[in-house]
């Protein structure tokens, strides 16, 4: 269906006031579609990506079933929201609380790992909206603590994920216990056969909403990809963390063992890191998330399932230490950052053997990443120097005691010694960057169908240069790159493709740095590698197939004997 913009002023006044306090001057496409007054009493089947604002969307969608002129007294729940994980359910509860604050709605959660007795007491006292996970909700239902007889609306959030986690039977139990006249809002990132079957069974004439511009929820995410040698993935994570100034970073691994190993590596190097995986209890998970929220930890290493639904307000960087299994997982991972108008960065570490898979994941997700070189140790140290010189925090709010100590230091040490000591103290607080063997940056070219094609001439539209060294001189990309950084005084991200031929090598240099590079390389000694500018790189030649091997002459065949052929035995009829 087409999406018409619905201004917040057209919503219920109590909800419009809450949105205004949060700074909403317009709604996202999925919010406008779900809040459309023409759909106020219809069931909805909504295909919506992570980060598109769907929690507020269904909060607005259930409003006609809950709010009249006033909200009725609390009692049996009027709305039920089902989510696949504890973290997502608790996040939904927080979002609905501020949205329905002026309406005076009582909202409670029922999730695994929490005190079920406290949840039963809340249900007994009366609520308007219940948010929970399938297993705990079914438990309360079978024990008689949860009465869905007055339910006016039910929401299934991330329904595809709930089916993948094996909650089909629980969902059917909960839906079967609701009144026939209730509204059903089903939200799913994808619409596989299982979701369509569930909608067909439990929804009535549902309006299907597929908001093509839902991808705008990821407009604030910058996607990057970096080639890395398989044994250097952890070193790549270390250097990306050191390069970034994000208050919080989420690093994804595919297994619990990988999470534990990377966590040990990072903590050993001095990073304040926590983990999220299925082996943690709820109390441990809550402590890890709280450490990230209050700044005691800045890095979280997690598996995909464990990170479902977590919302960290200052998460500026997502690192894929392991490639995601499919494009949907890539979207969910990356969607943890770049939320609520804030910018975010998502970086995928790609071993050479998995490059084609990475290109396919990006293509299927409609993502065009920027291929970059991993930052090296020298680049990070230079960045440290720049940040330290720009950091004003050590010089703010100096007390009288601080000035007294400054005078005492100056009476015993030179200003240069004191400044050097300050630099050393600053440097010792930072984990040491890792030396990384760089891999050349060479971006894929996307075909008209959005599929990765042959690599282009270069990643940055830069200028090409020819070096007087090649395979005959045992040249290799690692050595060429180091030479360019050292002699050319270049940062690694300014160096593009490297093509090594028999006696020459062609390299691409960013247009911004090409002139400076050419001048610097011209100052080399006669015995050093010489450099000359190229109008364009040498076209790549297709490998000629090897010449066909000569066939051995066939042995001469013996002449057939004359007369009738000799038969062994009698012919069977």
Per-residue pLDDT reduced to its tens digit, 290-320: 888 888 899 999 988 777 767 777 888 999 9
Residue 424 has pLDDT above 90, yes or no: no
**What class does CATH assign to 220-378?**
alpha beta
**Strand 183-188's sheet: what is its strand order?**
107-110, 129-132, 79-82, 153-156, 183-188, 44-47, 207-210
- 288 versus 1: which is more confidently predicted? 288
Name the region of 491 (left: φ>0; alpha: ψ -120 to 50; beta: rest): beta
Beta bridge partners of 299: 249, 273
Residue 485 has pLDDT above 50, yes or no: yes
Is residue 273 within 8 Å of residue 241, measured between CB atoms? no
Q: In the chain, which residues fall in CATH 3.30.70.330?
A: 455-534
Give pLDDT, residue 9.
55
Long-range contacts made by residues 3-7, C-beta under 8 angstroms, separation at least 24?
A: 3/29, 3/32, 3/33, 3/209, 3/211, 3/213, 4/32, 4/36, 5/32, 6/31, 6/32, 6/35, 6/36, 6/37
Residue 548 has pLDDT above 80, yes or no: no
Q: In the chain, which residues fall in CATH 3.40.50.300?
A: 8-215, 220-378
Give CA–CA dist 18/518, Å, rounded. 59
Fold of 455-534: Alpha-Beta Plaits (3.30.70)
Give pLDDT, residue 274.
92
Read off the pLDDT of each residue in 73-77 and give the average, rounded to a whole number: 88
Is residue 321 within 8 Å of residue 252, measured between CB atoms? yes
Give CA–CA dist 459/440, Å, rounded. 10
Residues above pLDDT 90, as percent of the chain = 21
Per-residue pLDDT reduced to its tens digit, 145-173: 999 999 999 999 888 878 877 888 999 99
**Tokens 């040498």 belong to which residue?**
538
Fold of 8-215: Rossmann fold (3.40.50)
Tokens of 319: 């690192």
Quickly count: other Cβ atoms within 10 Å of residue 1's Cβ.
12
Residue 207 has pLDDT above 50, yes or no: yes
Residues above pLDDT 70, as percent of the chain = 84
β-bridge pairing 153-156 and 79-82? parallel
User: What's the DSSP call for residue 127?
Assistant: B
Give the HSE-up count for residue 128: Cα atoms under 13 Å, Cβ half-sphere. Answer: 21
Give pLDDT, residue 440.
67
- 69 versus 253: which is more confidently predicted? 253
Per-residue pLDDT reduced to its tens digit, 389-406: 877 777 778 888 888 888
| pLDDT, averaged across the chain | 81
């Amino acid at each position: 269906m087409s999406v018409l913009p619905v201004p917040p002023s057209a919503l219920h006044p109590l909800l419009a006031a809450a949105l205004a306090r949060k700074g909403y001057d317009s709604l996202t496409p999925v919010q406008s579609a779900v809040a459309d007054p023409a759909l106020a009493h219809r069931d909805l089947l909504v295909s919506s990506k992570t980060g598109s604002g769907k929690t507020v969307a269904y909060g607005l969608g259930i409003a006609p079933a809950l709010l009249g002129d006033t909200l009725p007294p609390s009692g049996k729940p009027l709305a039920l929201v089902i989510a696949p994980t504890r973290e997502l359910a608790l996040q939904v509860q927080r979002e609905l609380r501020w949205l329905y604050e002026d309406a005076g709605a009582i909202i409670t959660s029922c999730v695994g790992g929490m005190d079920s007795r406290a949840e039963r007491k809340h249900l007994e006292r009366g609520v308007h909206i219940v948010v929970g996970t399938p297993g705990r909700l079914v438990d309360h239902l079978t024990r008689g603590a949860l009465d869905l007889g007055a339910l006016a609306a039910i929401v299934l959030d991330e329904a595809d994920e709930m089916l993948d986690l094996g909650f089909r039977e629980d969902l059917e139990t909960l839906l079967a216990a609701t009144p026939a006249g209730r509204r059903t809002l089903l939200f799913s990132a994808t619409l596989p056969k299982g979701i369509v079957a569930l909608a067909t069974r439990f929804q009535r004439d549902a309006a299907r909403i597929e908001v093509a511009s839902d991808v705008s929820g990821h407009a604030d995410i910058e996607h990057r990809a970096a080639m890395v040698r398989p044994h250097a993935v952890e070193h790549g994570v270390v250097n990306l963390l050191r390069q970034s100034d994000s208050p919080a970073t989420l690093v994804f691994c595919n297994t619990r063992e990988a999470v534990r190993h990377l966590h040990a590596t990072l903590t050993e190097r001095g990073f304040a890191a926590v983990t999220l995986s299925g082996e943690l209890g709820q109390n441990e998970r809550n402590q890890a998330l709280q450490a990230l929220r209050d700044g005691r930890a800045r890095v979280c290493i997690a598996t995909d399932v464990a990170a479902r639904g977590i919302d960290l307000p200052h998460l500026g960087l997502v690192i894929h230490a392991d490639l995601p299994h499919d494009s949907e997982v890539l979207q969910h991972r990356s969607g943890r950052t770049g939320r609520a108008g804030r910018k975010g960065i998502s970086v995928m570490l790609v071993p050479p053997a998995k490059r084609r898979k990475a290109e396919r994941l990006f293509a299927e997700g409609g993502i065009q990443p920027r291929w970059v070189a991993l930052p090296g140790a020298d680049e990070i140290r230079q960045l440290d120097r720049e940040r330290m010189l720009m950091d004003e925090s050590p010089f703010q709010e100096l007390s009288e005691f601080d000035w007294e100590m400054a005078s005492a230091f100056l009476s015993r040490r030179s200003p240069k010694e004191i400044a050097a000591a300050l630099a050393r103290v600053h440097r010792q607080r930072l984990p040491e960057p890792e030396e990384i063997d760089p891999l050349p940056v060479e971006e894929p070219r996307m075909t008209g169908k959005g599929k990765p094609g042959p690599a282009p001439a270069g990643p940055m539209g830069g200028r090409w240069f020819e070096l007087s060294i090649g395979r005959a001189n045992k040249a290799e990309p690692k050595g060429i790159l180091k030479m360019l950084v050292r002699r050319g005084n270049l940062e690694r991200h300014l160096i593009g493709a490297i093509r090594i031929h028999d006696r020459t090598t062609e390299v691409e240099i960013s247009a911004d740095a090409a002139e400076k590079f050419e001048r610097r390389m011209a100052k080399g000694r006669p015995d050093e590698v010489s450099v000359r500018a190229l109008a364009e790189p040498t076209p790549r030649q297709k490998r000629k197939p090897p010449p066909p091997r000569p066939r051995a002459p066939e042995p001469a065949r013996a002449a057939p004997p004359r007369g009738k052929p000799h038969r062994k035995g009698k012919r069977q009829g």
